[in-house]
Amino acid sequence: MLVELVKISKFPWSPWLAQVRMPFGGTGVRWCGDQDAKPGKYHVDWTVDEDIVWGRNARPAVGVGPGVRPGGHCVVLRGRLGLTVDGAAVLDFDGSQVLLDLAEPLPEGVAGTWVELFIEREKIALYPYEL
C-alpha cells in the first residue's frame, strides 16, 4: 500500500512512530523502516500484532470503504473481513491484505462484511519496501 509519511518520532516510552496519511485517513503507527526516512511516499506492508476478538477489538463498521483514523490510544482500521481456507482472518484494507490472528472463531455471517479494528498503536506496524 502506498502511504505518505509525514514524520517519524520517538518518545522514551514508545517505539519509533510514523505519522502517515492516505486518501481515506491518517494516523500514527509503529515504523519498522529506516529511522532517518524523509517525508514522502512509501510502499508499506501493514502487520497487526494483536489477537482479534469479535466484540472487543473488532466490530461492524460504521460506513463502508477503507478507513484509518486515531482512536485515543489505538488506531481504527476499516476494511472488509475475509477468511482464508485454513480459517485465518484477513482484512482487505484498500487492496492490501493484512493477516490477522483470531483469539476465537468469528460469529456466523461476519466474513465478507465491513469491519473496524481497534488496535493499540504500538501493535500495528508498517514495513516499507521498494518495488
Q: Find the radius of gyration of the CA atoms of the chain.
A: 14
Beta bridge partners of 115: 60, 79
What is the residue whose three cell numbers read 509503529? 30
**pTM: predicted TM-score of the whole model, two decimal places:** 0.91
Cα–Cα distances in angstroms (integers) from residue 29 to residues 6, 81, 84, 108, 120, in the given order: 12, 21, 26, 31, 9
| pLDDT tens-digit readout, 2-33 | 999 999 998 887 788 999 999 999 999 999 99
